[in-house]
Amino acid sequence: MARIVKDPEIRRTEIIDIAEELFLKSGYNETAVSDIVKRVGVSQGTFYYYFKSKEDILNAIIERYIYDIKMGVKAIAAKDDINAIEKIMAFFDFLNNMDQGKEKLIDYFHEDQNVHLHARFEKNVPSNIIPPFCQMIEEGVQEDLFDTKYPEMAALSIIGTTFAISHWMYDKEDRAGSTKKIMSAIFDLIERILGAEPGIFMEYAMKTEGAK
């Protein structure tokens, strides 16, 4: 085949892009390295010139997600025109709306074939978002919006709660169920964990919705 030399940075990104697309379409185990290189139009050897194993490219893909999330959260945490409650809500909004092309990332991740992606994702998210999230909580404590002695644990608890509930919802058939009740429950939990005034998150949510 005609040999095409590209800037390594571009080649690497190219391979990651295709690998990500195929992993999401068919699953990690079901995608062969040979499928990836065929689509990219390079040899098997080139793949292993850039990645030391198939597992390695999975990590590269996850790292990219994590990087995006980290940047997004940092940006929210750094804002100075909104308070801690609004930041936390903006944070959830950001996570929910992160997408990958046309479909929501979160939907992809919950498909059964992607347990591999999903597990790795959830394993790496906390260490990256806990610090800025924790900062938001500490800010809220200083503003007297929250009341907790353990901001880091509260951050972990909220992230863990979110994961658990989102899995739970996806495993249940009647997912459409009653979104409102679930929202109320989640807000209630967050308020309790943070020691915020009961109902205050819902209040803010209504306000924002009204502004749209």
Partner DNA sequence: GATGGACTGACTGACTGTCAGTCAATTTAT
Partner DNA sequence: ATAAATTGACTGACAGTCAGTCAGTCCATC
Round to whole Å and give the CA distance between 25 and 38: 16
Q: Which two tokens stand for residue 151?
A: 């901001």
State the minimum distance, in angstroms, from the CB of residue 46 to DNA.
Answer: 4
Q: Is 1 in the site for DNA (CB under 7 A)?
A: yes
Q: Which stretch binds DNA (CB under 7 A): 50-58, 120-128, 148-156, 186-194?
A: 50-58
Residue 164's binding partner among a second copy, DNA, none (Cβ under 5 to 8 angstroms by kind) is a second copy
Which residues have C-beta within 8 Å of that of residue 196, sequence separation ≥ 6?
Answer: 85, 140, 145, 146, 147, 190
159 is a site residue for a second copy (CB under 8 A):
yes
- 211 interacts with, out of DNA, a second copy, none, CB within 5 to 8 A per kind: none
Q: CA–CA separation, 158 vs 137, rounded Å?
A: 11
Q: Cα–Cα distance between 182 and 96 in angstroms, integer?
A: 15
**The residue to which tokens 């308020």 are assigned:** 191
Q: Is 38 in the site for DNA (CB under 7 A)?
A: no
Q: How far is the CB of 19 from a second copy (least distance, A)?
A: 18
CA-to-CA dists, residue 148 to 111, 154, 195, 202, angstroms: 36, 8, 6, 20
Does residue 171 touch a second copy according to CB under 8 A?
A: yes
Pairwise CA distance, residues 139 & 130, whole Å = 14
Asked if residues 59 and 116 have their Cβ atoms less than 8 Å apart, the reply is no
Site size for DNA, by CB under 7 A?
A: 24
**Which residues, 110 to 139, sit near a second copy by CB under 8 A?**
115, 118-120, 123, 126-127, 130
Question: Which one, 80 or 127, has the nearer CB to a second copy?
Answer: 127
Question: Which residue in this structure is represented by tokens 């994961």?
Answer: 163
Check binding of 142 to DNA (CB under 7 A): no
How many Å apart are CA 88 and CA 83, to the nearest integer? 9
Interaction of residue 27 with a second copy, rule CB under 8 A: no
Amino acid letter, residue 172: K
**Nearest CB to DNA, comparing residues 11 and 70:** 11
Binding site for a second copy (CB under 8 A): 115, 118-120, 123, 126-127, 130, 148-150, 153-154, 156-157, 159-165, 167-168, 171, 182, 184-186, 188-189, 192-193, 195
Binding site for DNA (CB under 7 A): 1, 3-6, 8, 11, 31-34, 41-49, 52-55
